C-alpha cells in the first residue's frame, strides 16, 4: 500500500513539475500583462512617460489594453485547459518576442527609453525564448 502511495506521489510531483516548467512563463505573463494593460488603458502617465492629448490617443491605448487582456484570457485558458495550451504557448511566444524585438529596435533607432521599458525588452525576450523552449520541450522533443 505504501509503495503504491509513494509511486502515486512521485507521479503527481512529476506532473506538477512538468506543468510548472511548461506554464510558468504564461503565469508570469498574465501576472504582468493584466496590470500593465489597465495602466495603458486608464492612466499610462502614472507609470510611463506617456501623455495622451487626443481622443484618438486614448482610443488607441484602450485598444492596446483590450488586446493585452484578450491575450491574457487565452493564456489563462492555456494554464487551466490542456486543449488551449499549445495555442497559448504559441501566442505568448509571438506576443513577447514581437514586443521585445519592437522595443529593442526602438531603443536602437529612437534612443534609450525609461527603465521600465529597458527592463521590458529583456523580460519580454526572456519570456518569448522560454516559451520557445517550453513549446519545443512539450510538443516537438524527439522520443
The C-alpha atoms of residue 88 and residue 109 are separated, in whole angstroms, by 31
Share of the chain above pLDDT 70, in %: 88
pLDDT in tens, 76-104: 999 999 999 999 999 999 999 999 999 99
Instruction: Decide: helix, strand or coil at residue 15.
Output: helix
The C-alpha atoms of residue 25 and residue 110 are separated, in whole angstroms, by 29
**C-alpha cell belonging to residue 93:** 511566444
Alpha helices in 43-143 (DSSP H): 55-80, 82-110, 115-139
pLDDT in the model for residue 49: 86
The C-alpha atoms of residue 70 and residue 49 are separated, in whole angstroms, by 25
Amino acid at each position: 500500500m505504501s509503495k503504491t502511495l509513494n509511486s502515486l506521489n512521485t507521479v503527481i510531483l512529476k506532473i506538477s513539475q512538468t506543468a510548472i516548467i511548461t506554464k510558468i512563463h504564461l503565469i508570469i505573463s498574465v501576472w504582468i500583462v493584466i496590470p500593465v494593460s489597465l495602466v495603458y488603458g486608464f492612466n499610462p502617465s502614472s507609470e510611463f512617460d506617456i501623455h495622451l492629448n487626443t481622443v484618438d490617443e486614448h482610443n488607441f491605448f484602450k485598444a492596446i489594453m483590450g488586446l493585452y487582456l484578450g491575450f491574457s484570457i487565452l493564456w489563462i485558458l492555456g494554464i487551466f485547459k490542456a486543449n488551449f495550451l499549445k495555442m497559448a504557448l504559441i501566442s505568448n511566444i509571438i506576443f513577447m518576442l514581437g514586443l521585445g524585438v519592437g522595443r529593442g529596435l526602438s531603443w536602437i533607432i529612437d534612443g534609450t527609453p525609461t527603465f521600465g521599458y529597458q527592463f521590458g525588452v529583456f523580460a519580454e525576450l526572456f519570456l518569448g525564448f522560454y516559451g520557445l523552449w517550453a513549446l519545443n520541450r512539450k510538443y516537438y522533443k524527439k522520443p
